[in-house]
Structure 1
């Protein structure tokens, strides 16, 4: 169970926090269109909760016709 007060989250916990599957978040890393992350080794991906919140806020739209902007 992830700590709700943690400021750093590993990929599975970050995916749960965002409401995404782990594979969707992994695909976003490959495409470069997901939240900013850090690598703490060859297989350890770390997200900062502030970066997740900022990325999520940047995804807000008023209608389905608005295009997604790339950072």
Structure 2
């Protein structure tokens, strides 16, 4: 019996681009800056993402108003 959930699905950067519309180049920049979703690197040239990690990262960026993204002090 397979007990894997949909959140255990593994995506390549190309699949992330196709599904979430976040370009591979943008993902690479986010990885470099440490601001993107958690990723797996099983080999030196292979990058993979868990669906649950991408969804968590996206949820953490949710905003209701422009004020929440502002860093100005008043």
TM-score of the superposition, structure 2-length normalised?
0.76
* Structure 1 stretches of 4+ moved >4 Å: none
Deviation at 1:64, TM superposition (A): 1.8
Hey, what does 2:23 align to over in structure 1?
21
Maintained 8 Å contact 1:18/1:52: no
Unaligned runs of at least 5 residues, structure 2: 1-5
Deviation at 1:17, TM superposition (A): 2.4
Give the RMSD, CA atoms, in angstroms.
Answer: 1.8
Residue correspondences, number: 64
Structure with larger Rg: 2
TM-score of the superposition, structure 1-length normalised?
0.78
